[in-house]
Structure 1
Amino acid sequence: MSRLFRYVDGGSLCPRGSVVCIGAFDGLHLGHRALVRHAVARAQALGLPAVALSFEPLPREFFARGNPPPRLTLPRDRIEGLLGLGLERLGLLRFDAALAAMPAEDFVRRVLAGRLGAREVWIGPEFRFGHRRGGDLALLQAMGVELGFEAGQIAPVHAHGERVSSTRIREALVAGDFAHAAALLGRPYAIGGRVVRGRQLGRTLGFPTANLRFPKTPALSGIYATLVHGVDARPWPSVSSFGTRPTVQGVEPLLEAHLFDFAGDLYGRHLEVEFVAKLRDEEKFPDLPALTAQMHRDAAQARRILADLPQQAMPARAGNEASAAPAPHSEHHQAAAQR
């Protein structure tokens, strides 16, 4: 039986009852994890399943379709991350016009009480839900008396003297402050996905890349020193371009990672690209030779940055490090997967 469900209506999913937590969970940062772990602990104490509820698209994306706000994580990473915290079920509800118009009271009755048989409901600080954000902790507590559940709110989570939030993480990523973002996330910032075929321009320029699509508005763009996970037992040093590739007239955001000194086929593999340092913003070059020259400079800079990392973070290289194979780049990362 699948642990994931997408719809508001349907049969009972938790006949014995459940402990539910609700949130956007974009980025699954320290605050999100605290909420989920609290719900899981309460569920274990009561001998009930723990359930998380979230939405896709996120409500703020639905209401700003012409200019959607940046996303930290794609649905797959959010699902895998949440289920990895000990949940028995995850509701990634389809957020559409009908759900947007649903009064908060109806959501409580149909989803929390009806489908999940909630015995306890937990939310984060200042969380709102339902039509016109009419649902809050007070509503949950009042309806809980009627429907037989208790509701609570966890305290804000702080790290290094500031409140953890997805907004602060996005700001840190835009600023290229990956150490700060990692402190709020509880782990380095990374983007995962399956390697897809591109236009293979990077290969013709001497910079074959592993391409990961990002069909949302990303929280960052530019050229980065990166580590790629999922190729070897240890992270693989690389240089990556993340953006729309203006020199080659790209449109959809694409993450293109050039793995240094790598020979192999990564098509179809699920990789995770960890961002270490920002090298520069994405820019449009007058021609491909100018782009290629900058790609070589970026590659050399990324190698220097990554060489200063602890050696245990670096994989055994295939070939001579000194042979500075070019590094991928912004627009050029239209390339195909590494070969």
Structure 2
Amino acid sequence: MKQFNSLDEIKNIKETVVALGNFDGVHKGHQELIRRTVKSARMAGLKSAVFTFANHPKNVLAGKPVIKNILYPEDKAAMIQSLGVDYLFSLEFNEIIQHLSAEEFMQKLLIGAFRMREVYCGFNYRFGYKAEGSPETLIKAGMKDGFGIHVLEPFKIDGNLVSSSLIRELIAAGRVGECKKYMGRNYTVGGEVVVGNKIGRTIGFPTSNILIDETMVTPAHGVYVTYCNYNGTCYQGITNVGIKPTIGDNLKNIETHIFNFSKELYGKEIRVEFLERIRPEIKFENVQELAQQIDRDCAEAERFHKRLNEARLRDNFCETKK
């Protein structure tokens, strides 16, 4: 996949079938849209492309971050690439693009820069100055200018419309266990391990701490069953998200205790996958009560991991028998 981060970089490309959207999460609805785009492009002998913005338009228009990211930019690009896309147009939503009319958006960007011959979008896609453009606008333009239009119907799972807004709500509410159903993967945050207050080490539960990335949506305060991905290996563990009220540390962070792990990770990059919330974060009377609760939390997390592994083995056995 070739990625373009500005209009100036887009040169000598072939004609395309373009998927339109913010794709902030690349959830199952987005994946379906992109798969259809890739299939159409291959059948027509064209290049498949995804057009998205590197920054969220709503944040630009509001002048402040009102929409939190679900995916890191590099993860978003990697997921789009994994779906077989040839071109990724990841442009900055700037003042010039902001003031393009719907007609200019189609003519200058889609047709002019991206050499679009077909386009795929969701039923609620909006574009152009003050969001004046809609799928209906594209349909009318396609009939006039001779390009194909495909509008994806609402994509639902268990009766729920799959959307980035829904996923953000689930994460912010601590309902991380439901995310995989809509995203196709566990919700993940990452960062560099920093020095904490080292209280966990003194009570027998050393933790790897990462600071909250303010650009990312983060889970509600609480204790979670997690995986910790480090250096290409996935480790079982348990994670606390919050301000550690018993200790009196008011800076929200993410601290992960990795089971059966003794390496020092300060300064290293880790990724934490959230599987299920065990309980909300609460304040204990003293550190001893906290340690006793952490011991119970770890036992519950280990049981969860065991059940998950057993279920995975059963699924693999069934696949093998088929």
TM class by shorter-chain length? 0.7 to 0.9
The 8 Å contact of residues 77 and 192 in structure 1, kept in 2 or not, is answered as no
Q: Distance between the aligned counterparts of 1:65 and 1:301, measured in 2?
A: 44
The 5-angstrom pairing of residues 210-249 of structure 1 reads 211=210, 213-222=212-221, 223-230=223-230, 235-243=234-242, 247-249=248-250
Aligned to 2:251: 250
Which of 37, 54, 61 pairs up with 1:63? 61
Secondary structure, counterpart of 1:170 in structure 2: helix
After superposition, the Cα gap between the structure-2 partners of 1:61 and 1:241, relative to the gap in structure 1 and judged at 3 Å, is farther
Displacement of 1:99 in angstroms is 2.9
Partner AA of 2:249 in structure 1: V
Aligned to 1:6: 5
Displacement of 1:213 in angstroms is 4.9
Which of 17, 20, 27 pairs up with 1:19? 17
Aligned to 1:190: 187
After superposition, the Cα gap between the structure-2 partners of 1:17 and 1:232, relative to the gap in structure 1 and judged at 3 Å, is closer
Partner AA of 1:211 in structure 2: I
Aligned to 2:273: 274
The 8 Å contact of residues 30 and 186 in structure 1, kept in 2 or not, is answered as yes
Aligned to 2:261: 262
Q: Distance between the aligned counterparts of 1:267 and 1:82, measured in 2?
A: 31
TM-score scaled to structure 2, two decimals? 0.81
Aligned to 2:103: 105
The 8 Å contact of residues 226 and 236 in structure 2, kept in 1 or not, is answered as yes
Displacement of 1:127 in angstroms is 0.8
Give the root-mean-square deviation of aligned CA atoms. 3.1
Secondary structure, counterpart of 1:263 in structure 2: coil
Displacement of 1:259 in angstroms is 0.7
After superposition, the Cα gap between the structure-2 partners of 1:110 and 1:278, relative to the gap in structure 1 and judged at 3 Å, is same
The 8 Å contact of residues 33 and 120 in structure 2, kept in 1 or not, is answered as yes
Displacement of 1:160 in angstroms is 2.2
Displacement of 1:3 in angstroms is 1.8
The 8 Å contact of residues 74 and 214 in structure 1, kept in 2 or not, is answered as no
More moved, 293-302 vs 46-55: 293-302
Partner AA of 2:165 in structure 1: T
The 8 Å contact of residues 192 and 270 in structure 1, kept in 2 or not, is answered as no
Work out the number of aligned pairs and report it: 308
Displacement of 1:299 in angstroms is 3.3
After superposition, the Cα gap between the structure-2 partners of 1:20 and 1:244, relative to the gap in structure 1 and judged at 3 Å, is farther
The 8 Å contact of residues 180 and 187 in structure 2, kept in 1 or not, is answered as no
Deviation track 1:122-176 (CA, whole Å, cap 9, x = no partner) reads 1012111122111111222333345442222112222223322222223333444
Displacement of 1:202 in angstroms is 5.4
5+ unaligned residues in a row in structure 2: which ranges? 314-322
Q: Distance between the aligned counterparts of 1:11 and 1:208, measured in 2?
A: 44
After superposition, the Cα gap between the structure-2 partners of 1:283 and 1:102, relative to the gap in structure 1 and judged at 3 Å, is farther
Displacement of 1:47 in angstroms is 1.5
More moved, 37-46 vs 66-75: 66-75
Partner AA of 1:164 in structure 2: V
Instruction: Give yes or no for the alignment of 1:91 onto 2:89.
Output: yes
After superposition, the Cα gap between the structure-2 partners of 1:114 and 1:146, relative to the gap in structure 1 and judged at 3 Å, is same
After superposition, the Cα gap between the structure-2 partners of 1:90 and 1:212, relative to the gap in structure 1 and judged at 3 Å, is farther
More moved, 286-295 vs 199-208: 286-295
Moved over 6 A (4+): 284-290
Identity of aligned residues (%): 27
Secondary structure, counterpart of 1:87 in structure 2: coil
Q: Distance between the aligned counterparts of 1:304 and 1:103, measured in 2?
A: 56
Q: Distance between the aligned counterparts of 1:232 and 1:12, measured in 2?
A: 34
Deviation track 1:36-55 (CA, whole Å, cap 9, x = no partner) reads 00100111111121111111
Displacement of 1:65 in angstroms is 4.8
5+ unaligned residues in a row in structure 1: which ranges? 315-339
Displacement of 1:191 in angstroms is 1.0
Partner AA of 2:171 in structure 1: L
TM-score scaled to structure 1, two decimals? 0.77
Aligned to 2:206: 207
Partner AA of 2:251 in structure 1: G
The 8 Å contact of residues 22 and 54 in structure 1, kept in 2 or not, is answered as yes
Q: Distance between the aligned counterparts of 2:238 and 2:66, measured in 1?
A: 27
Secondary structure, counterpart of 1:278 in structure 2: strand
Displacement of 1:91 in angstroms is 1.7
